[in-house]
Structure 1
Amino acid sequence: MSNTQESAPSWDARDLQRGLQAAGVALWSWNVDDDTFAMDEAAFSLWGMEFRPSVTFEDLSANIHPKDRDRVRAAFAATRAVIGPYEIDFRILVGDDVRWISARGQGDDLGMSSRKMFGIFIDVTGRKQAEEGHELLAGEMSHRVKNLLAIASGLTAITSRSVETTTDMARELTQRLTALGRAHDMVRPLPGEEGKAALLGDLLSVLLAPYDDLGAFSGRIRVSVPRMGVGEQAANTLALVVHELATNSLKYGALSTEAGTLDVSCSAHDTELVIHWTEQGGPTVTPPEGPGGFGSKMVARAMSRQLQGSIERDWAPQGLVVRLLMNKERVAR
């Protein structure tokens, strides 16, 4: 009986190069004595640099993000003492773009040849952006949950002012929480509801309904806006912004007291739409210290990115006045 030995697959240099290109892998070698790097064409393209036989770390440093430069220098200097494989993620600047690069290799001088260490670069920008998006989403969800708990507490307090029995309390509080649920759905549309638009007045009325008193103090929230349509994307953004403003008013502003009132009006211009949010009758207003919390930053970001607009606040002692400036075309989307 003869033994049959299967031959191992073989690849030539062109096959390996094709595989590296398909995987988005760029090659580098580092001379530990003179601190120079040799890189293939894919690496130079990744770094946004002209091809040359070798580059120094200082040459590469010009493209490394200033906040990562010292960390990358220290990390490369320490790689020779690392046992096993290592991986360093850092940012580089290519024109106006920011790219994330992962440099990978073997430490402990493993595989060193002619005083050179070898490794690869991989563009991990997509992964990093996804991670940042997940972190931002987690932060927003945490913020919303905290707000919902504060709202539930505030709604309980204002409901107790207008009822005399526990039965009335349960009924009115249920109505408020149900309205709050409808308003919350506008921040994140339910499956199958995508693409539907709303009238601006209806949208604002539904969003603010949970905060208006139902008894003796009813009607303290007044909405007066022109009849106009709001697209789905804009409706989601406006829901987020109004939800944040109403929550803050319930905790600190006009809606936190029996005498407080809120007026929401709107003015339209050629290319711009402005919503005016005016609070009166609440506690004396004092401007906050510092740049503001997560909610303020979230609202400013949403207004800028989704509606090509901005938010302006006037911390008048008698009541907060907010102006929401938006691009009319974006509002219709």
Structure 2
Amino acid sequence: MFTCAQTLVTLVSTTLHSRFVGGPESFNTMVIFAPGARPGPGSEARLRLALDAAGGVGAWELDVATDWLSADESFWSLHGLQKGRDAPGNLQGLLAMVMADDRELLATALRAAADRKVERLRCEYRVVGADGELAWLLLRGRMRTLEEGGTGRLIGVAVDVTEQHQTEMALRASEERFEAITNSVDQMIWSTRPDGFHDYYNQRWYEFTGMEVGTTDGEAWNGMFHPDDQERAWERWRHSLETGEPYHIEYRLRHHSGNYRWVIGRAKCVRDGEGRIVRWYGTCTDIDDLKEAEAQRELIARELSHRIRNIFAVVSSLVMLPTRDQPEARPFAVSVQARIQALASAHEYVRPHSALSAPEDDSHTVKGLMQLLVSPYNAPGRGRIVIEGDDQPIGTQAATAMALIIHELATNAVKYGALSGDGGLVAVDCSDADKHLTIRWRETGGPPVDGTPTRKGFGTTLSERVASTQLGATLTREWLAEGLVVVLVIPVSRLLT
């Protein structure tokens, strides 16, 4: 059987190990002596050195029959006893130094250990330390019998665990703040382990889905998707887990009403200092109302476009109608009809499209769009607006902005500029350099220019704003004597939007 010294050394070694390695929850006893061995000379001195080196650790011994308590100076210092003061010699004196709300807790724990109801004593309680501040102590011990038929004694150590409690309180406060933040936003927020196991959802997720807390953990979240979206969403998630790429997808999520609503799922990973993924954080945003609005807008846009095409068709027919009785007017009518048809084509090209109505041909270019837009102003065999130079592909949104700008320039040229007379021309030169496309519109042969106008019209202001906000471009005008020069510089990256 171990002696009291052996027991105390074992407890101290355990405490030191937990204090510096595993924290107060660890209780991995370090083997100091082989079974049956006794500490040699100087063991007590070495023990004292170990306690002093640890700091915040004190040794104690309690005779359970007499309540006689013996402890070292460090033990009493932890309990707030000032130097030079006499230490209490019994258990009641110790309990008097403990916060009133914790005294019964400590007394109960000591009785359970003394009665051998528990193998090891472990109890945390509060005291007022020597510095006058509240401190948390951890009391550890074991019941030992000194000799056959002898009195049993509790032998152990006390450890200052105030810092650990403060850390736990700070962590708890941080978690509470996190919960408050995530539950204050109108989005579903979730988090997973590095392998993609879902282990956190905010309150918004449970409010939206109507599911019980914990029932969608792990891979159960995939069952919340519409059956037609499950495999697609799962494949995209697996790809993100394998590559670390951001997760972004639209899918239908089951609402607590039983209906499926469209949401956007997004997630990004967090990495440690060595680049390993340690966590995924994601959101789900309800976009069902937006989807419905887009569908309504698309329906209206298609209906409006259909009616405009019908108007063009009616006007084109009306232009040709008089030629039945006036054959000599047919060449003029055919020319006007060609312009009307060109305008109709330009309208269909630049009108906003959805994924359903977008044209299959995605090879549209800046020059192709401009040629289409200015074709009504060019007579057969005589191009009054000549477009030359480099070219770039153009997306639907950029095309809409370009159409407004070119239409404004061409309309003003017809009203006031080079195209207002018979001899005027417009030269459009496109040059691609330094990731920018520069379009230079130069008018010649029109009425003399008297200098910069004193005011801007609505169309001019609108075209400048569209150039800046939708194309990220700069648009400048120079009023030369021979005609207007307009320079439009567009980032190539913005043309593909």
TM-score (norm 2): 0.33
* Structure with the larger RCO, 1 or 2 (CA within 8 Å, 6+ apart): 1
If you compute each CA radius of gyration, which structure gives the higher value, 1 or 2? Answer: 2
